């Protein structure tokens, strides 16, 4: 059994253990999920320390001092691990920890069995026909569809609370939910529909609580998928998708380079262009049926503004240096007047930098959320016409505002990208600009003569 095999085992056990811990915490109880995760972590750390100890004691340099230090460190780690295990066994569920501890060992067994199976004649016979392989996979999926919910339901039934307590909690949640829905509501998305269809499902509540993040990740996945498909096999005569993507990239490069300059364009265009394109797609995503714009949530827009703020400060520290960054925040004083105004310029610059992510996030959030509320209002007004005008269908009063939403969504993405570019430009050294300005002033008298 090679070290590469153990690395794959650790990676597989870490991923599967994290997913199973989340499932147990969601569909079962949170303490059980924590106990299962503690058992997985205990087993993985134990295997890693044992591997380091065995490799150190059996290696070619085992007689050197550094090897003995590594062996001593591994032994000390094992002792600390056993002490931590004793604490977790006395405070968390022993059964859940045992199952988590056995997970990496089960991964080792399954990987060994899969290696033997893939080299067998039966596996070659199954995979020889794609229809036979598809039928077997379908049977396994159907079996998992019936077995896994039954097991989870049994686990939840054992730990179910008292019926009266559960009814009281349900009524309280329904009251809170009703109070929450009394305010202005956007169009129901597919996540909202699922949450209302399965109000007791943990995964539905989780998606409902993190709706904006789920849609933001979905937009990012779609963007990455389209870019991958368009660029995986580039052609000299481009396909329509490749041609469209090249047109977008070239347009973004020329637009941003016109602001920040060709010197810094190759460095910052990938980030700024991706940011603008990502925000534009998120703005437009809410116009699709049963979808929602992630940028209509202040959490998403503030996260984007915070990323730009941190990146801009990093650019200032890296390009100007610590002293140059402080000099920039002081207003770059070069004479007596500048130094006298420096105590006033410092708090102004600090407040201005702190206001940048707030202005970026609130502007984008307000415009996109306002678009959604405007569409909801006019859709509701069009439906109201059913009763007042006795029409067989509602009036599509929202159609003009859909076109307006297309325009404002594009403008807001462009504004966010342009302001981010300007913030980066303000943090870059200005010697090049000063040199160009001085050169233009010196050339003006010569041209006059």
Dig out the tokens for 345 from the structure.
């310029």
pTM: 0.57
In tens digits, the chain (449 residues) has pLDDT values of 456 777 777 788 888 888 887 777 766 777 787 888 888 888 888 877 777 777 777 766 666 666 677 777 777 877 887 887 778 878 788 888 888 888 888 877 887 787 777 777 777 777 777 777 777 777 777 776 666 555 545 544 544 444 444 444 444 444 444 444 445 577 778 888 888 888 888 888 888 888 999 999 999 999 999 999 888 888 888 888 889 999 999 999 999 999 998 889 999 999 999 999 999 999 999 888 888 899 999 999 999 999 999 999 999 888 888 888 888 888 878 888 878 888 888 888 888 889 999 999 999 999 999 888 888 888 888 777 766 666 656 677 778 888 888 999 999 999 999 999 999 998 888 654 444 444 444 444 444 43
Q: What is the pLDDT of residues 363-391, one digit of tens each?
A: 999 999 988 888 888 888 877 776 666 66
| pLDDT value of position 308 | 94
Q: What is the 3-state secondary structure (H, E, C) of the chain?
A: CCHHHHHHHHHHHHHHHHHHHHHHHHHCCHHHHHHHHHHHHHHHHHHHHHHHHHHHHHCCCCCCHHHHHHHHHHHHHHHHHHHHHHHHHHHCCHHHHHHHHHHHHHHHHHHHHHHHHHCCHHHHHHHCCHHHHHHHHHHHHHHHHHHHHHHHHHHHHHCCCCHHHHHHHHHHHHHHHHHHCCCCCCCCCHHHHHHHHCCCCHHHHHHHHCHHHHHHHHHHHHHHHHHHHHHCCCCCCCCHHHHHHHHHHHHHHHHHHHHHCCCCHHHHHHHHHHHHHHHHHHHHHCCCCCCCCHHHCHHHHHHHHHHHHHHHHHHHHHHHHHHHHHHHHCCCCCCHHHHHHHHHHHHHHHHHHHHHHHHHHHHHHHHHHHHHHHHHHHHHHHHHHHHHHCCCCCCCCCHHHHHHHHHHHHHHHHHHHHHHHHHHHHHCCCHHHHHHHHHHHHHHHHHHC
Length reported for the chain:
449
């Amino acid at each position: 059994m090679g070290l590469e095999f153990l690395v794959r085992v650790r990676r597989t056990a870490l991923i599967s253990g994290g997913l199973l811990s989340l499932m147990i915490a969601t569909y079962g109880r949170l303490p059980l999920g924590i106990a299962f995760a503690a058992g997985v972590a205990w087993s993985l750390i134990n295997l890693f320390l044992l591997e380091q100890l065995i490799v150190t004691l059996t290696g070619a340099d085992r007689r050197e001092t550094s090897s003995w230090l590594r062996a001593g460190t591994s032994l000390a780690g094992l002792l600390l691990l056993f002490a931590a295990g004793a604490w977790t066994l006395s405070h968390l569920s022993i059964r859940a920890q045992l199952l988590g501890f056995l997970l990496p060992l089960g991964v080792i067994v399954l990987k060994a069995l899969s290696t033997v199976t893939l080299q067998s004649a039966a596996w070659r016979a199954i995979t020889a026909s794609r229809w036979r392989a598809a039928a077997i996979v379908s049977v396994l999926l159907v079996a998992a569809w019936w077995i896994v919910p039954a097991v989870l339901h049994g686990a939840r039934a054992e730990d179910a609370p008292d019926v009266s307590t559960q009814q009281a909690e349900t009524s309280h949640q329904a009251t809170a939910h009703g109070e929450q829905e009394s305010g202005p509501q956007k169009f129901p998305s597919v996540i909202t529909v699922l949450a209302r269809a399965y109000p007791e499902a943990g995964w539905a509540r989780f998606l409902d609580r993190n709706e904006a993040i789920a849609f933001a990740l979905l937009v990012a996945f779609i963007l990455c998928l389209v870019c991958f498909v368009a660029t995986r096999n580039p052609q000299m005569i481009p396909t329509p998708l490749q041609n469209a993507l090249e047109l977008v990239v070239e347009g973004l490069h020329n637009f941003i380079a016109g602001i920040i300059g060709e010197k810094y364009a190759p460095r910052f265009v990938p980030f700024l262009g991706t940011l603008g394109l990502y925000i534009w797609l998120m703005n437009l995503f809410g116009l699709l049926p049963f979808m929602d714009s992630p940028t209509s949530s202040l959490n998403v827009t503030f996260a984007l503004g915070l990323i730009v703020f941190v990146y801009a400060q990093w650019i200032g520290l890296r390009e100007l240096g610590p002293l140059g960054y402080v000099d920039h925040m002081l207003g770059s004083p070069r004479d007596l007047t500048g130094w006298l105004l420096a105590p006033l310029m410092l708090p102004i610059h600090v407040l201005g930098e702190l206001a940048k992510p707030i202005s970026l996030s609130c502007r984008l959030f307000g415009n996109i959320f306002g678009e959604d509320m405007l569409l909801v209002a006019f859709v509701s007004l069009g439906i109201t016409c059913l009763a007042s005008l006795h029409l067989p269908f509602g009036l599509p009063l929202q159609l003009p505002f859909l076109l307006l939403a297309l325009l404002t969504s594009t403008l807001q993405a462009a504004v966010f990208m342009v302001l981010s570019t300007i913030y980066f430009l303000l943090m870059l050294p200005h010697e090049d600009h000063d040199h160009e300005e001085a050169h233009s002033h010196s050339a003006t008298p010569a041209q006059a003569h």
